Amino acid sequence: MTPEPFGARLRHAMDTRGPLCVGIDPHASLLTSWGLNDDIAGLERFTRTVVEALADRVAVLKPQSAFFERFGSRGVAVLEKAVEEARAAGALVLMDAKRGDIGSTMGAYAATYLDKDSPLFSDAVTVSPYLGFGSLRPALDAAAVSGAGVFVLALTSNPEGAEVQRATAADGRSLAQVMLDHMAAENAGATPLGSVGAVVGATLADAGADLAVNGPLLAPGIGAQGATPADLPRVFGASVGNVVPSVSRGVLRHGPDASGLREAAGRFADEVRTAVSEG
């Protein structure tokens, strides 16, 4: 039986739960601000609290793999449990791993996050295309088989990204536009939304690119990085309806109280709805 594509599942989640992605980023300073130790017990408590508070109401939860990996195998075990419990509660899980390599190594990354038999199987994963878009083929193919998604870095929110992403290809397009055009080709004909998404920072003054890729646009930078939901129509233009704004510290700083997390997430979701409808 062919699984329902990620793009269709994401569109339904955004329409019913609101277009918001909340990051799970258990870095040391955040654990401390919650009154937790920067150890495996603190990691477990933090992660369980976020999942229990939000997984039944937000469209997407986005664990940042590095903050779990730093604790070794015990941290990865916490991540595995979080993925399982978040998906069971109805949230789509986007693994923020930013993997990128070639050949069999990329295939191994794909098996880790996009094979349904993997303990880290997620609804989608972030990947880097700057070894060439073709290097992502193992991940794209694995995602298609399992009904998962792939979010490809295009125009990121960090200032250093511009030296690569804004560089000009031989045909005059920016490298970011080359990648976006590849994504559009992968999503051609998909309804209601393709399963290959782009990562485009909400903090950009001007995207300066054609973002009509017929896929979701993950927009980090809302909240602590300085962007607001009101900025989304300016950055994303006619594609704003496909934006999945990503908030981490802007929600997480309201913990460890679960009601604080829920209220903050609900407030951001409402602000995004308003901005998208007015844009």
Catalytic residues: 98
**β-bridge mates for residue 59, sequence order:** none
Contacts of 90 (CB under 8 A, 6+ apart): 55, 56
Instruction: For residue 249, count CB atoms less than 10 angstroms from its CB and return exposed for 0-12, middle for 13-18, buried for 19 or more.
Output: middle
Cα dist from 178 to 10, 19, 160, 274, whole Å: 25, 27, 19, 32
CA atoms within 13 Å, Cβ hemisphere of 7: 24
Which pairs from 248-251 meet CB under 8 Å and 24+ separation?
Answer: 248/22, 248/23, 248/24, 248/25, 248/62, 248/64, 248/223, 248/224, 249/25, 249/30, 249/223, 249/224, 250/222, 250/223, 250/224, 251/22, 251/54, 251/223
